[in-house]
Amino acid sequence: MTGGLALAGREKLGDMGPDEFRDALGLVADWVARYRERVRDMPVLAQVKPGEMRSALPAHVPRAGDRVEQWLEDLDRIVMPAVTHWNHPGFMAYFGITGSAPGILGELVSAALNVNGMLWKTCPALCELEEVVLRWLAGALGLPESWFGMLTDTASTSTLVALTAAREMAGLDVREEGLAGHPPLVMYCSQEAHSSVEKAAIVLGIGRKGVRRIVVDEAYRMDPAELESAIVEDVASGRKPFAVVATVGTTSVTAVDPVGDVAQVCRKHGVWLHVDAAYAGSAAMAPEFRWALAGCELADSLVTNPHKWLFTQIDCSALYTSRPDAFRRALTLVPEYLKTEASGVTDLMDYSFQLGRRFRAIKLWFVLRYFGSDGIAARIREHVRLAGLFAAWVDEHPSLERLAPVPFSVVCFRVHPPGVDGEGELDQLNARVLDQVNRQGRVFLSHTKLRGKFVLRLAVGNLATAEADVEAALDEVCAAAGIAGRAR
Amino acid sequence: MTGGLALAGREKLGDMGPDEFRDALGLVADWVARYRERVRDMPVLAQVKPGEMRSALPAHVPRAGDRVEQWLEDLDRIVMPAVTHWNHPGFMAYFGITGSAPGILGELVSAALNVNGMLWKTCPALCELEEVVLRWLAGALGLPESWFGMLTDTASTSTLVALTAAREMAGLDVREEGLAGHPPLVMYCSQEAHSSVEKAAIVLGIGRKGVRRIVVDEAYRMDPAELESAIVEDVASGRKPFAVVATVGTTSVTAVDPVGDVAQVCRKHGVWLHVDAAYAGSAAMAPEFRWALAGCELADSLVTNPHKWLFTQIDCSALYTSRPDAFRRALTLVPEYLKTEASGVTDLMDYSFQLGRRFRAIKLWFVLRYFGSDGIAARIREHVRLAGLFAAWVDEHPSLERLAPVPFSVVCFRVHPPGVDGEGELDQLNARVLDQVNRQGRVFLSHTKLRGKFVLRLAVGNLATAEADVEAALDEVCAAAGIAGRAR
């Protein structure tokens, strides 16, 4: 056995001791609680110049260590001014990465356990909790509970993995043979689909020319007849259609593609259907928004991101499939050092290109348990109500114009004073308004382009966002544009 | 403004209130501290049956929420028995995902900030701290500080992204055109390279047949002459070599490919060199192990995982490149809604297929600051010392046999009693010994195959692991094999 001297040496070489850890964790926990209490008083968009924070930090690792008090001081003094606060109630840009208190608690437990769930054996709890929680989520969203589910980091990864499976099912044995020597593969999505779809095509070796963007209708939804024509045309010209990505809640305007009709086209032509419901999938927690996922039960795979609108810390993307065997067929590879004797278990590494896998299910478990499905539905409903209010204010205002339907919690609008009708002038005006609003630090909005027009975009998704914050957004826009505020 | 009623309604619909959060965080923090204090007394390898944990959980999301006390009770009662404890000092399987107390604190801060650093603007602090900390790490490892660095989730992702850039530089405009119609691309790695290399080839559309496994020497290192012959042969037969993956610290035996020689071959033939230093890169924190990264300054890209042997929580993989433009060229795509006015900044989404990006740099910053580079070097050195001790005990023991050199902290060995020489018999004996050792719960070892032989594998990497734990591993093996223990 080791003696006293060796033990002292070991402690010196090991991790923080128990008391030191308890003290440090107490300090960091207090910092975190204070941060949440004061975030509303900070500017939502970081107001620093590029390189400002970087230049305030030393150029090299310190040789000797320092202590948590100093890290927290540097956090406050150097790092925080350079943080854009996604937790701020005025954060209404992009989609909101809407974390929550239970999500933080879940991440803390996950960080402490620090397991890698590549195999069932390397942490049965990770594999089985992921399975259970994803079944809970499927049930709560009205998706088939029989689907296989797994958590990945981002929708980008989920879509890439799903399309890898889809490509394998094209019957060309791409896994073994690669794509060279085969006819060009083609995949389809609407003009409004997310950039991650095209990035997946790049990575997969399909190339951007292998992505056909199908036109959308007046409400920015994919046209299934155009989809079918494109498939027929491609087959006739010797190309091989292999996948369609339909979107439930497009990034710009949260449009919902007609998934049921798209699915019929896919089945008829033997093409894999992947659904990107990263944002709007969560809406189906409220029964009145179940319509958004109608037809998705016919999909081969679907992604929805609890880190987008289900109050779960980034990163947490739920990838479902009705065809797990296709994922395995595309991606399983078991080197000797990962072979196990366990049978009847799911080794999640067989379904992805990523071997390492952290314990993401805990935070989702905590979030679902804290709010309950009714509580989440009520919060989703409230966000939609707030967006609806804002949309109504825009509609009433003589100098504001709404540019798309508002099915969920995102409003696309612009400043459009009567008499100003040059599109170039309006684009410039709105870009200036956006910049000015975001410099104030009270709210943070983003933008998009719709049919060539520069459009402001307000997205509600943060649990802290209340009516006063949405009102503030309107006030800020009116002030920046020099137009009258809303009559109250 | 909202009145009292609306405010009450908002609170009901929002997140935990400040006091409730402070109380809940205190409970979870205490749970985490207790977990770390008692993990050494738990079985390291979960001893549950498949499905046992799953069946103890409800089938559906609760409609109403419950409280943190209940989650923690379920954690202890249902989840913990199904956890394989990577934090246990007896965890010596695979490589160790070696977290630390400062790593936990960093994850807690990161979870609280909950930002998405897809663009500089969406969190300047994330982008700039990632840049600073990766430069710190490069400097501390003796890698060029001028390299561009980014953090990804896993080495699988880092290698996939690097090979996407490599493929683009093959000059075929794969990004736009895809791989169909081009000559087959070929990449190279040793017979001992990690499965993630082959998985990347699958995803990229190269196919497993596009991966040539180069033979290794007696110490399991890639043979550069064989590599060059293979490249010449492939070019002659109309295939197009585009990348070589060299390994610094192979998974089975931690062999180090002769990177400098491999780099010369790559330069001569215009082929991208990616180095997988996921495990052994960290060793270079100690100057006496800098040799392991010799020649890596000639690489086009390199991955090393702080979550493997740099005491950082999973997930944290550092991807470096001397050619960031190649990554951008392969992977940048900026849709309108992500365009910003900022200039002179790095938007990390331009260098990866993943859009979402959590704040991983904080934990690495905390880890490097807590231990300091000297402190980390001392701990790495201690782990190598412990592995060396174990190797010496194996070498001395008449019924144990070492099967590979021990350059770092991994020992490959087997039970080999005098007179037992049938390889089949030895394989069976060692498989039985491994199973029996792992059932005891005191240590957890893994295995591999070397030249057809079933080999036990002991990896030291946990800050809690001390000499007594390595001694216990030897005792467990001897007991399970029915051979005498080490003379003391």
Among A1, A92, A114, A446, which would you mutate to test the B interface (most chain B Cβ atoms within 10 Å of its Cβ)?
A114
Q: Does A452 touch chain B (CB under 8 A)?
A: no
Q: Which of B37, B105, B136, B168 to mutate to test the interface with A (most CBs of A within 10 A)?
A: B105
CA B461, B466, B470: angle at the middle one, nearest 5? 80
Amino acid, single-letter form, for residue A7: L
pLDDT at residue number A471 = 98
pLDDT in tens, chain A (488 residues): 333 334 333 347 899 999 999 999 999 999 999 999 999 999 999 999 999 999 999 999 999 999 999 999 999 999 999 999 999 999 999 998 889 999 999 999 999 999 999 999 999 999 999 999 999 999 999 999 999 999 999 999 999 999 999 999 999 999 999 999 899 999 999 999 999 999 999 999 999 999 999 999 999 999 999 999 999 999 999 999 999 999 999 999 999 999 999 999 999 999 999 999 999 999 999 999 999 999 999 999 999 999 999 999 999 999 999 999 999 999 999 888 788 877 789 999 999 999 999 999 999 999 999 999 999 999 999 999 999 999 999 999 999 999 999 999 999 999 999 999 999 999 999 999 999 999 999 999 999 999 999 999 999 999 999 999 999 999 999 999 999 998 77
Are the Cβ atoms of A80 and B195 closer than 8 angstroms?
Answer: no
Helix, strand, coil % in chain B, rounded to nearest 5: 50, 15, 40
Q: Does B392 touch chain A (CB under 8 A)?
A: no
Q: Using one digit for the tens of pLDDT, what is the confidence trace for A51-60?
A: 999 999 999 9
Q: A251-264 burial, b for 16+ CB within 10 Å, e for fewer?
A: bbbbbbbbbebbbb
How is chain A split among helix, strand and coil, in percent rounded to 5? Answer: 50, 15, 40
Among A6, A191, A147, residue whose Cα is nearest residue B336? A191
Residue A484's CB: how many other CB atoms inside 10 A?
Answer: 11
What single-letter DSSP state applies at residue A256? B
CB contact under 8 A, A82 and B353: no
Concatenate the DSSP letters of all residues of B309-323 into one string: HSS--SS-EEEEES-
Q: What is the predicted pLDDT for the residue at A1?
A: 34
Backbone angles phi, psi at B306, to 5 degrees: -55, -20
B89 touches chain A (CB under 8 A): no
Given CA atoms B75, A461, A281, B15 in this order, what sign does their dihedral have? positive
d(CA A280, CA A283): 5
B41 vs A: CB within 8 A: no
Contacts of B100 in chain A (CB under 8 A): 15-16
- A378–B13: do the CB atoms touch at under 8 Å? yes
Please count the helices (runs of H) and the strands (runs of E) in chain A.
Answer: 15, 11
The distance of B74 to chain A (nearest Cα, Å) reads 11
Which residues, in sequence order, are CB contacts of A12 under 8 Å at separation 6+?
Answer: none
Positions in chain B short of pLDDT 70: 1-11
Contact B103, A69 (CB under 8 A): no
Q: Which of B184, B464, B471 is closest, CB to CB, to A181? A: B184
Chain A residues within 8 A of B59 when measuring between CB atoms: 135-136, 139
Report the C-alpha gap between B426 and B417 in whole angstroms.
9
Judging contacts by C-beta atoms under 8 Å, the chain A residues touching residue B20 are: 101
Report yes or no: B20 at the A interface, CB cutoff 8 Å: yes
Local structure of A400: helix, strand or coil: strand
Question: Which chain A positions have a beta carbon within 8 Å of B2's beta carbon?
Answer: 466-468
In tens, the pLDDT along B203-212 reads: 999 999 999 9
Taking CB atoms and an 8 Å limit, are A84 and B45 in contact across chains? no
Q: What is the pLDDT of residues B141-198, one digit of tens each?
A: 999 999 999 999 999 999 999 999 999 999 999 999 999 989 999 999 999 999 999 9
Q: Which of B202, B204, B465 to mutate to test the interface with A (most CBs of A within 10 A)?
A: B202
Going by C-alpha positions, the residue among A328, A463, A376, A325 that lies closest to residue A139 is A376
pLDDT at A5: 38
Residues of B in contact with A71 (CB under 8 A): 105, 365-366, 369
Where would I find the H helices in A204-337?
A: 224-236, 259-269, 306-309, 324-331
Q: Hey, what domains does chain B have and what are their CATH numbers?
A: 116-358 (3.40.640.10), 368-481 (3.90.1150.170)
Radius of gyration, alpha carbons of chain B: 25
- Dihedral Cα A423, A427, A432, A435, nearest 10 deg: 160
What is chain B's mean pLDDT, rounded?
Answer: 95
Q: Are B187 and B210 in contact (CB under 8 A)?
A: yes
Torsion of CA A473, A476, A477, A483, to 10 degrees: 130
Evaluate the omega torsion of the peptide bond into residue B173 and state whether it is cis, within 30 degrees of 0. no
Q: Does B128 touch chain A (CB under 8 A)?
A: yes
The C-alpha of A440 sits at a distance from chain B's nearest C-alpha, in angstroms, of 15
How many CB contacts within 8 angstroms connect chain A with chain B? 548
Pull the structure tokens for residue B69: 């006390």
Instruction: Single out the residue of B130, B126, B62, B347 nearest to residue A84, CA to CA.
Output: B126
**B11 Cβ under 8 Å from any chain A Cβ:** no
Q: Are B282 and B309 in contact (CB under 8 A)?
A: yes
Judge whether A382 is closer than 8 Å to chain B, CB to CB: yes
CA distance A149 to A160: 15
Cβ A25–B105 below 8 Å, yes or no? yes
**Chain B interface disruption, residue of A45, A61, A191, A368, most B CBs within 10 A:** A61
Task: Flag whether residue A472 sits within 8 Å of chain B, measured between CB atoms.
Answer: no
B427 closest CA partner among B394, B455, B450, B458: B455
The partner residue sitting opposite B178, judged by closest CB among A70, A86, A207, is: A207
* Burial (CB count within 10 angstroms: exposed 0-12, middle 13-18, buried 19+), residue B2: middle
The verdict on A319 touching B (C-beta cutoff 8 Å) is: no
Chain A residues lying within 8 Å of B485, measured CB to CB: none
Residue pair B250/B281 in contact (Cβ under 8 Å)? The answer is: no
Number of residues that this document lists for chain B: 488
- Residue B10, pLDDT score: 37
Does any CB of chain B come closer than 8 Å to the CB of residue A439?
Answer: no
Is the four-CA dihedral B40, B45, B47, B49 of positive or negative sign?
positive
3-class DSSP assignment, residue A90? coil
> Do residue B112 and residue A101 have CB atoms under 8 angstroms apart?
no
Count of other CB atoms within 10 angstroms of residue A38: 10
Comparing alpha-carbon positions, the chain B residue that sits nearest to A368 is B61
Contacts of B463 in chain A (CB under 8 A): 13-15
Residues of A in contact with B181 (CB under 8 A): 180, 184
Taking a contact as any Cβ pair under 8 Å apart, which residues of chain A between 325 and 354 contact chain B?
Answer: 330-331, 333-338, 341-345, 353-354
CA distance B264 to B260: 6
- Residues from chain A that touch B79, judged by Cβ atoms under 8 A, are 125, 129
